[in-house]
Structure 1
Amino acid sequence: MKKINWGIIGCGDVTEFKSGPAFNKVSNSNLIAVMRRDMAKAKDYAYRHNVPKWYSNAEQLINDPEVNAVYVATPPSSHEMYTIAALAAGKPVYVEKPMSVNTDAAINMVRAAAQKNIKLVIAHYRREQPFFKKIKQLIIDKVIGDIRFVKLDYCKMVLNQEALKENKNAWRVDTSIAGGGLFHDLAPHQLDLMLYFFGDAEKINGVAVNQAGLYAADDMVAGNILFKNGIVFSGIWSFGIEKTSERDWCEITGTIGKIEFPVFDGRTITVTVNNTTQQFTFDALQHVQQPMIEKVVAYFLNEAGNPCSGEEGALIMKWMEAMTRK
């Protein structure tokens, strides 16, 4: 392949700004087809984004001879099915996070890619953003000394009955579609960063409960990780609080200082060493997945390594299940 001609399965909200337009902004990459079960919505998306082809059937998109790579952006319950179908057609796949609804499904996807010798990438895209690459470099450079522990708090306002009437919210707390609640939707970003920063884990445990009782999925998770390098992580995810108590904060503590940053809601990294504070501020990205898509295209064209493998995606599924196991 000299150019990646993408087809998107599931051209919904996540593709409007975060990813979709970036496929045409990256070198040697074009978005040429989109699919959505609602043909009218697929056509509307295609018209608005100047995409020449649209489908209401995923099989037709996968078998389009001009499409040579597939981006799966549906809810998690169909990731396994569409990914394996695209791999069977010999087409590399970029699949949204969470990788699937559970570890077993994720492993099936990894095995299918290995059996066909076709490339598979998981959209843990924050690891390619300049903001998080800076944090990684600060860790490598030992700016705060040797890392000892990490604390993460992520607290969001409860989804009330009015919010749950909207489909974009409702499916995310339907365990049959999402695999879990908002923890499964959002924590993959945070946990993948921990994997990216600190490597594999030795022990993982946690507690998951449904405190508000507004839907079937758990809305509160407390998780702990002991990494193989001895670093300890503790995290709280709460989706049942008031607006004034919302929090998006992570703190990495080392022997001579600390690094503080938000994962979702900010652009500033604060580094404190020996009571001296320095801040690094980054501009907002127009399309948050564009740096990752650049790496995926390079990987598919054999010009770079895999920016986030299926094995890594499956490992994050395993971590989440360890934290939420009853």
Structure 2
Amino acid sequence: MKEIKWGIIGCGDVTEVKSGPAFNKVPNSSLVAVMRRDVAKARDYASRHNVPAWYDNAEKLINDPEVNAVYIATPPLQHEEYTLLSLAAGKPVYVEKPMTLNTESALRMKNAAINFNVKLCVAHYRREQPIFLKVKQLLSDKVIGDIRFVQLQMLQSPAHNLIASTDTNWRLDPSISGGGLFHDLAPHQLDLMIYYFGKVSSSSGISVNQSKEYSADDLVTGQILFENGVVFNGTWCFTVSEADKKDICEITGSTGKISFPVFGNKITLKKDGYEEEFIFEALQHVQQPMIERVTAYFLGKGDNPCSAEQAILSMELMDSFTKTGRLK
């Protein structure tokens, strides 16, 4: 292949700005087909984004001879099915996070990629954003010495605004999303922790539905011991007041501390009695740096920026927090 010609399965709101337009903006890449079960919405998306073909059936898009790679942006319930169909057709897959509903499903997807010998990449796109690459550089350069522990808080009110709008709030239905809002937001944060600190030695957590406003748990806590000795503590709560909303990750080292929001644009470094800030411009298309890396990987010009094996690690962490630690 000299060019990746993408087809999107699930051209919903999340693809309008975050990802969809980027496929036509990176080298050797173009968006040639989209699919949505509502054919009128698929046609409208294609018209507005100048996409040549649209479908209301995923298999028709997968079998389109013009499509040579598939981006799966449906709710997690369909990730495994569409990934397996695409891999069986010999077409590499870029699948949204969370990779799927649970670890068992993710393992089936990984094994299918191996068995069909077709490439599979997961959209943990924050790995390639400048702000998080800067954090990784600061950690690698030991700017704050040896890392001791990480404290993360994601506190949102019921009127939160971090989630893309949808016709139905499927993210609150565990049968479709795998859990609740935790399963939508935590993959970003947990994948970054794996990206920064490596292999996990042990993990556990508590998961509970306190408000009973919907069927999914609305409070999750998690603890991780990494093999390098770093300790992580995280809290995700989606029922705090507007005044108590918080998005902060604090990495404490032997000589200082790095703080940043996972859904923001500023890093704060505190060390030796002084404070320094690094501020980054918001990206027009947040997935564009990742899509550039994925395209290069599919063309054989680079490594996999987030493999199934890597994504499964965050799936395992989420399961360890919400399955074994679930309180009735």
1:190 is matched with 189
Aligned to 2:171, the other structure's residue is in SS state helix
Aligned to 2:248, the other structure's residue is in SS state strand
Superimposed CA distance per residue, residues 165-211 of structure 1 (whole angstroms, 9 cap, x where no aligned partner) = x7456200100000000000100000000000000110100000001
1:280 is matched with 278
Is the Cα–Cα contact under 8 Å of residues 256 and 269 in structure 2 kept in the other structure? Answer: yes
CA RMSD, Structure 1 to Structure 2 (Å): 1.2
1:37 is matched with 37
Cα pair distance change 1:149/1:306, threshold 3 Å: same
User: For residues 100-249 of structure 1, what are the structure 2 equivalents within 5 Å?
Assistant: 100-158=100-158, 167-168=166-167, 170-249=169-248
Tell me how far apart the structure 2 counterparts of residues 24 and 244 of structure 1 sit (CA, whole Å): 40
1:320 is matched with 318
1:290 is matched with 288
Matched, 1:96 2:96: yes
Tell me how far apart the structure 2 counterparts of residues 27 and 113 of structure 1 sit (CA, whole Å): 25
1:257 is matched with 256
1:163 is matched with none
Tell me how far apart the structure 2 counterparts of residues 22 and 244 of structure 1 sit (CA, whole Å): 35
Superimposed CA distance per residue, residues 4-46 of structure 1 (whole angstroms, 9 cap, x where no aligned partner) = 0000000001100000000000000000000000000000000
The normalised TM-score by structure 2 is 0.96
Tell me how far apart the structure 2 counterparts of residues 167 and 127 of structure 1 sit (CA, whole Å): 26
Aligned to 1:2, the other structure's residue is in SS state coil
Letter in 2 for 1:79: H
Superimposed CA distance per residue, residues 259-316 of structure 1 (whole angstroms, 9 cap, x where no aligned partner) = 000001x211000111111111100000000000000000000000000001111121
Tell me how far apart the structure 2 counterparts of residues 175 and 272 of structure 1 sit (CA, whole Å): 40
The normalised TM-score by structure 1 is 0.97
Aligned to 1:17, the other structure's residue is in SS state coil
2:47 is matched with 47
Tell me how far apart the structure 1 counterparts of residues 159 and 19 of structure 2 sit (CA, whole Å): 25
Tell me how far apart the structure 2 counterparts of residues 239 and 274 of structure 1 sit (CA, whole Å): 35
What are structure 1's unaligned runs of at least 5 residues? 161-165
Tell me how far apart the structure 1 counterparts of residues 310 and 218 of structure 2 sit (CA, whole Å): 25
Aligned to 2:207, the other structure's residue is in SS state strand
Shift of 1:159: 5.1
Runs ≥4 in structure 1, deviation > 6 angstroms? Answer: none
Tell me how far apart the structure 1 counterparts of residues 77 and 192 of structure 2 sit (CA, whole Å): 23
Tell me how far apart the structure 2 counterparts of residues 298 and 272 of structure 1 sit (CA, whole Å): 37
Matched, 1:10 2:10: yes
2:299 is matched with 301
Tell me how far apart the structure 2 counterparts of residues 117 and 273 of structure 1 sit (CA, whole Å): 48
Aligned to 1:279, the other structure's residue is in SS state strand
